[in-house]
Structure 1
Amino acid sequence: MKISALYVYPIKALRGIPLKHAELGPQGIKHDRRFMLYTVNQTTGELKKMQLDAFPRCALFEQEIICDDQKKEPLIRVRYHAPPPTKEQEELDAQLSSSSSGTTITTTTETEIEVPLEPDVATLERIDVSLHGSPASLAYRMGERYDAWFSKCFGVPAVLVYIGNGRRAVLGSTLPPKGTGGSSTESAVPPAPWLTFTDVAPLLVTSESSLRDVHSRLDSAKLDDTSDANFMYKFRPNIAVDGEGEDAWAEDFWAELTVGGEGGQQEPIRLLLTGNCGRCTSLNVDYTTGRPAVGEMGNVLKKLMKDRRVDKGSKWTPVFGRYAFIAGAEEKEAAAVSIDIRVGDVVQVTKRSDERTVWDWPL
């Protein structure tokens, strides 16, 4: 197999950025999910995570990382692609606004904002946030300018949060077992992995073989060939592999993948696959309208419900993809060793499990 695609998501839930190559660390691809959006209940002040399932308008935000000599600091440039207003959109906006805060905010005509990729936290306000039951030890509000812009785009009060040096604990058995960190000394215990705003592990790995199976379940006559031929982006992986030589859904049993190392100077990278990715209605979102898709592309989740609810610990959600940790990433980072991967790198399955892993993240 080979890596067929790489993605990074600096601001969680917005559109991913496709990459040709990426630098890996203990928390996955560099800059991945360091920022996150929350909506604020104006009455109670309660924060609610903003993700595609509940806030499909997240799909309308394109992001790119800008690093050039003309900029004093690296930036995330965010562009909002506002869809043409429709009656259905107005009704959805009103529904989302009332359910989130009871306050409707006029949407913005400003289509672009730039966010510092590595902001100075000394100037930022601390904030307490949690994701999937795992609180961040530190997190910071980026400030009114950013909150106001995102609030106008979404139509609900929104807060942009940066995790900085904050950490989230890994819960449940998605944590890789001790002794798999790559240390040459068996008695050495690697540092405990931790998370930024990634869901439950630093990386998500998916297979094109399984995507082809999903595509085969859809009525091809009802698909737009230009936009629906390859919709891996909807599954929001960090690493997609072409699946050559592997059956559809073979990844359910992958325990370890080895990436690269053939003929190069860098040692092979070992990925420890520890948990299944259960899927939600975000698969049905139309990235051009910011609403649930109509027709076949609005039925992707339903098509998977029939036979992909294969995780006994999460029996109501279909599985597509596997969460992964990088073996020995902490030691390599401490030794200032760069870990790089590229589209086209060879990927081998080096360990398989006899049974599927069981979801037990304690929500």
Structure 2
Amino acid sequence: MKISALYVYPIKGLRGIELRKAQVGPQGIKHDRRFMLYQAGQHEATAGMKAMQLASHPQCALFEQQIASSPDGPDGSAEEASVVVRYHSPKDSHHSDLNRVTPPQSPSSAEDSEATLRVPLEPDISLLEKISVDLHGSPATAYRMGGGYDAWFSSRFGFRTVLVYIGDGRRAVLGTSMLPKAANTAAAPQKGWVSSLASLVTSPRQQQPATPALWLTFTDVAPLLVTSESSLHDISARLPANQPMPMFKFRPNLVVDGEGEAAWAEDFWAELAIDVQTKDLEQQQQQQRHTLLLTSNCARCISLNVDYQTGKPAEGELGSVLKKLMKDRRVDAGTKWSPVFGRYAFVAGGEGEVLTVSVGDKVQVTRRNAERSVWDWPGL
């Protein structure tokens, strides 16, 4: 198999950004889900805030984001400086192409400037107001980006919206299903990444401080989500030939082509090895192998049915994808009402382990589970 696509979502819930190459560390792809939108109360900006995701706020699909490089960088590989957000007015569903989204565009005029918002990817948190937030029952201290950002989003959503940055905040992993299976065996090492994983996985009533090596940003329940094109083909086969299901609606981080693997084989994947081609100081080709630990299934919700052109549930067959999957993909006993597509993953390695992966890198399944894993994130 090979990596066929990579995606990053700096602001959670908005359209993803497709990459050719990505840096991946203990908290996932660099800049992934470091920001999030919350719906605030009518009068008090931070009262009764509600996390905004596609399932509850399908209008998020109308916001495109792209990473802008630093102007003083030598080329396109320059250090990222900001994420540029562009709002697209909803289109008439009768005339929209339900499988397409508007391609990224760079702001180039005063009119474009008003239609876009530039958000620094690494803001100075010393200048920002702290705020307590919660996502899926796992709380964290985050930072409000400020009134200007809130106003820009609020004017487009039509209600009070708050943009927050995770900064040095750390969300704990709840339940035990996130642990790689090796961590539960007698042969598992007692130090390193395994002990880091074990120390952070907690019950909702006994949350411990996050370890330096493992914690979550605004990613749902793990740093990475892996999906397979083999399984996507199975889903598209359930739809009209002229309306295949696009992978971006499943919001993965890493997509593999699935070559040599049957549809839904990933249900049992426990470990993937990624072979990365590198060059030494003498420019000779070398190969490095990195490991991803696949720990839990991804339970799916009504976000699959969202039309990215209208910001509403899609009409026709693409509006019933979740229902179609519920017929035979409710295969996780821990989340029996939700169909499964994709696997959550962690990077195997120490606290400072950072790898660079690219589209085209070879991927191999190096360990499989005998049985499907069982979801146990409490309340989700």
Do the structures match in fold with TM over 0.5?
yes
Whether 1:75 aligns to 2:90 is no
Whether 1:146 aligns to 2:149 is yes
Identify if the C-alpha distance between structure 1 residues 199 and 338 changes in structure 2 by more than 3 Å, giving closer, same or farther: closer
Give me the whole-angstrom Cα distance separating, in 2, the residues matched to 1:179 and 1:217: 37
- AA aligned opposite 1:291: K
Residue 158 of structure 2 corresponds to 155
User: What's the CA shift string for 1:36-65, capped at 9, x where partnerless?
Assistant: 000012257101010001111100111011
Whether 1:125 aligns to 2:129 is yes
- For the 8 Å contact 2:181–2:295, the answer to whether it is kept is no
- For the 8 Å contact 1:174–1:200, the answer to whether it is kept is no
Which aligned pairs between 1:1-363 and structure 2 lie closer than 5 A? 1-42=1-42, 45-70=47-72, 74-84=81-91, 110-136=114-140, 138-177=141-180, 186-190=189-193, 191-192=196-197, 193-220=214-241, 223=243, 229=244, 231-261=246-276, 265=286, 267-330=288-351, 333=352, 338-363=354-379
Unpaired stretches in structure 2, ≥5 consecutive residues: 74-78, 94-112, 198-213, 279-284
- For the 8 Å contact 1:73–1:116, the answer to whether it is kept is no
Q: How high is the TM-score relative to the length of structure 2? A: 0.81
- AA aligned opposite 1:132: H
Per the TM alignment, residue 156 of structure 1 is displaced from its structure 2 partner at its CA by 1.4
Per the TM alignment, residue 177 of structure 1 is displaced from its structure 2 partner at its CA by 4.1
Per the TM alignment, residue 362 of structure 1 is displaced from its structure 2 partner at its CA by 1.0
Residue 98 of structure 1 corresponds to none
Per the TM alignment, residue 219 of structure 1 is displaced from its structure 2 partner at its CA by 2.3
Give me the whole-angstrom Cα distance separating, in 2, the residues matched to 1:19 and 1:161: 24
Residue 106 of structure 1 corresponds to none
Unpaired stretches in structure 1, ≥5 consecutive residues: 87-108, 224-228
- For the 8 Å contact 1:173–1:274, the answer to whether it is kept is no
Per the TM alignment, residue 4 of structure 1 is displaced from its structure 2 partner at its CA by 0.5
SS in structure 2 of the partner of residue 194 of structure 1: coil
Per the TM alignment, residue 174 of structure 1 is displaced from its structure 2 partner at its CA by 3.4
SS in structure 2 of the partner of residue 51 of structure 1: coil
User: What's the CA shift string for 1:180-204, capped at 9, x where partnerless?
Assistant: 6xxxx94424334210000000000
Identify if the C-alpha distance between structure 1 residues 24 and 329 changes in structure 2 by more than 3 Å, giving closer, same or farther: farther
Identify if the C-alpha distance between structure 1 residues 278 and 62 changes in structure 2 by more than 3 Å, giving closer, same or farther: same
In the alignment of these two chains, the number of paired residues is: 329
SS in structure 1 of the partner of residue 176 of structure 2: helix
Give me the whole-angstrom Cα distance separating, in 2, the residues matched to 1:286 and 1:127: 32
Identify if the C-alpha distance between structure 1 residues 230 and 309 changes in structure 2 by more than 3 Å, giving closer, same or farther: closer
- AA aligned opposite 2:153: F
Give me the whole-angstrom Cα distance separating, in 1, the residues matched to 2:35 and 2:52: 11
- AA aligned opposite 1:285: V
- AA aligned opposite 1:353: N
The structure 1 segments of at least 4 consecutive aligned residues displaced by more than 3 Å after TM superposition are: 70-73, 177-180, 261-266
User: What's the CA shift string for 1:297-324, capped at 9, x where partnerless?
Assistant: 1111111010000000000000000000
- For the 8 Å contact 1:176–1:325, the answer to whether it is kept is no
Identify if the C-alpha distance between structure 1 residues 232 and 178 changes in structure 2 by more than 3 Å, giving closer, same or farther: closer
Per the TM alignment, residue 155 of structure 1 is displaced from its structure 2 partner at its CA by 1.0
Q: How high is the TM-score relative to the length of structure 1? A: 0.85
Per the TM alignment, residue 262 of structure 1 is displaced from its structure 2 partner at its CA by 6.4
Identity %: 62
- AA aligned opposite 1:46: G
Give me the whole-angstrom Cα distance separating, in 1, the residues matched to 2:368 and 2:239: 30
SS in structure 1 of the partner of residue 324 of structure 2: helix
- AA aligned opposite 1:59: A
Identify if the C-alpha distance between structure 1 residues 266 and 123 changes in structure 2 by more than 3 Å, giving closer, same or farther: farther
Give me the whole-angstrom Cα distance separating, in 2, the residues matched to 1:329 and 1:155: 44
Per the TM alignment, residue 265 of structure 1 is displaced from its structure 2 partner at its CA by 3.5
